Amino acid sequence: MADLHIEDFYRDVATIFLRLYAVFPRKTTLYVEDVSGPDQPDEFGLHNPRFQAAFSAIVWLADHGYLYFNDTIREEAVDQVVLSQRAFLLLSAPAREPVAPPVEDSGAPSVIAESQTALTQLRYALRQGSSLDIKQAVSDLLSRPPIGGL
């Protein structure tokens, strides 16, 4: 039986990394709805478990040195969030276990190198929607030791 909450975690981590990389190095506000999808709090104002899990994924990434933020906006967003140097370098580095098919030799080394980055692998995996590809791409990133002792 699949652990769906873990598959959601991998998808959330990939989404968080892609959103923050897109604005790096600028600090931004990251809304949990942008990660988990829309939420309708119950009559007591409590968010659904899926929404809470996405918020927890953001906090977990911060606790483990992949991003920094100044404050939370209730449980709805994190303010002044930015990728850490560690996460930026991991995303920019070549993937150890690519999930995307190799780019045909276009003669442009920069295009080939870009297609092999961990970031490109995450984009491909999310676009394909394969839980296995997303898990592999995210696991590849999270299992790497800190770069240069960071």
Q: Over the stretch 99-135, which tens digit does the pLDDT of each residue have? A: 666 666 666 666 656 667 889 889 999 998 889 999 9
Looking at residue 82, its amino acid is: V
Model confidence, pTM: 0.86
What stretches of the chain adopt beta strand conformation (E)? 28-31, 67-68, 71-73, 77-83
Q: Which of 4, 1, 17, 5 is nearest to 138 (CA)?
A: 17
Q: Over the stretch 3-27, which tens digit does the pLDDT of each residue have? A: 778 899 999 999 999 999 999 999 9
Per DSSP, the three-state class of 82 is strand
Domain holding 43, by residue range, is 4-149
Number of structural domains (the chain) is 1
Report the C-alpha gap between 37 and 31 in whole angstroms. 10
Inter-axis angle of helices 118-128 and 85-92, nearest 10:
80
Is the pLDDT score of 1 beyond 60? Answer: no
Q: Which of 47-61, 69-83, 94-108 has the lowest mean pLDDT?
A: 94-108
